[in-house]
Structure 1
Amino acid sequence: MNDTEQLIKDALGKLAERTPHPGPTLNALRRKRKRQRNNVFLIATAGMAAVAVLIFTGLIASDRYTPPNHNDAAAALMPTNVNGQSFELKYAPHWLPDGFVENYRSVGPEVTRVWVPVSAKDRNPMEQTGDPRVTLRKLKKLPDGLDQWQEVTVRGLKAWQKSSQGQSAGLTTEVVWQAQDALSVTLRGVTDASEAALRVADSVRADSNLSFLPPFWLDGKAAADVWGSSPYDWSARWAGEKFGVTVSTRQPAKTEGALATVRGQKGTVVNDSAVVVRDSSGFWITVEGAPGARDSLVEAANRVQLQIVPSPDTIWIGKGL
Structure 2
Amino acid sequence: MNEQLIKDALEAVAGTAVAPERVRARLNARVTAHRQRRLLLAGAGAATFAAAVGVPVALRERHPEPALPVASPAHGVPPMTPRAVSLLLAPQWLPDGLVERFRSVKFDVATGKPLGGNRSWYPSGSPYTVEVPKGSVSFSVGERIDDGSGEPVMVGSVRGTLRVTDSAWVEWQPKGEPSMIVSVYGTADDTEIALRVARSVAATEETMLVTMDVPRVPDAFAGSATFEVNPTGEGTGVQALGYTSADLRSGFRLTTEAPQPEQPYLSVERDGMTVYLPGEEPGVVGGGVTLTDQESRTVINQVTFRPPDVSWAGF
Distance 1:272 1:297, change over 3 A: farther
Query: Structure 2 unaligned runs (5+)?
Result: 1-80, 107-114, 244-249, 282-291
The aligned counterpart of 1:93 is: 91
Task: Provide Cα deviations, 1:44-64, integer angstroms capped at 9, x if missing partner.
Answer: xxxxxxxxxxxxxxxxxxxxx
The aligned counterpart of 2:314 is: 318
Q: Percent of counterpart pairs with the same letter?
A: 25
**One-letter identity of the residue aligned with 2:158:** L
| TM-score normalized with structure 1 length | 0.53
Q: Does 1:136 align with 2:150?
A: no
Asked whether the 8 Å contact 1:274–1:294 carries over to 2, the reply is no
Asked whether the 8 Å contact 1:231–1:316 carries over to 2, the reply is no
The aligned counterpart of 1:275 is: 266
By relative contact order (CA 8 Å, sep 6+), the higher-ranking structure is: 2
Q: Does 1:239 align with 2:218?
A: no
Asked whether the 8 Å contact 1:273–1:288 carries over to 2, the reply is yes
The aligned counterpart of 1:225 is: 228
Q: Does 1:302 align with 2:301?
A: yes
**One-letter identity of the residue aligned with 2:230:** W
Task: Provide Cα deviations, 1:24-71, integer angstroms capped at 9, x if missing partner.
Answer: xxxxxxxxxxxxxxxxxxxxxxxxxxxxxxxxxxxxxxxxxxxxxxxx
Distance 1:149 1:242, change over 3 A: closer
TM superposition shift of 1:284: 2.4
**One-letter identity of the residue aligned with 2:95:** P
Task: Provide Cα deviations, 1:264-304, integer angstroms capped at 9, x if missing partner.
Answer: xxxxxx85822344321x3221221169x887654432111
Distance 1:242 1:159, change over 3 A: closer
Equivalent residues, number: 202
RMSD: 3.2
Asked whether the 8 Å contact 1:162–1:174 carries over to 2, the reply is yes
* Most deviating of 108-117 and 221-230: 221-230
Distance 1:96 1:140, change over 3 A: closer
| TM-score normalized with structure 2 length | 0.54
User: Higher Cα Rg: structure 1 or 2?
Assistant: 1
Distance 1:245 1:232 in 2: 21
Secondary structure of residue in 1 paired with 2:181: strand
Secondary structure of residue in 2 paired with 1:232: coil
Task: Provide Cα deviations, 1:236-290, integer angstroms capped at 9, x if missing partner.
Answer: 1123557531136xxx488xxxxxxxxxxxxxxx85822344321x322122116
**One-letter identity of the residue aligned with 2:96:** D
Distance 1:176 1:295, change over 3 A: closer
The aligned counterpart of 2:67 is: none
Q: How does 1:52-71 map to 2 (within 5 A)?
A: none
Distance 2:159 2:234 in 1: 37
Asked whether the 8 Å contact 1:88–1:212 carries over to 2, the reply is yes
Q: Does 1:121 align with 2:91?
A: no
**One-letter identity of the residue aligned with 1:273:** P
Q: Which of 174, 178, 184 is matched with 2:169 structurally?
A: 174
Distance 1:184 1:283, change over 3 A: same
**One-letter identity of the residue aligned with 1:116:** Y
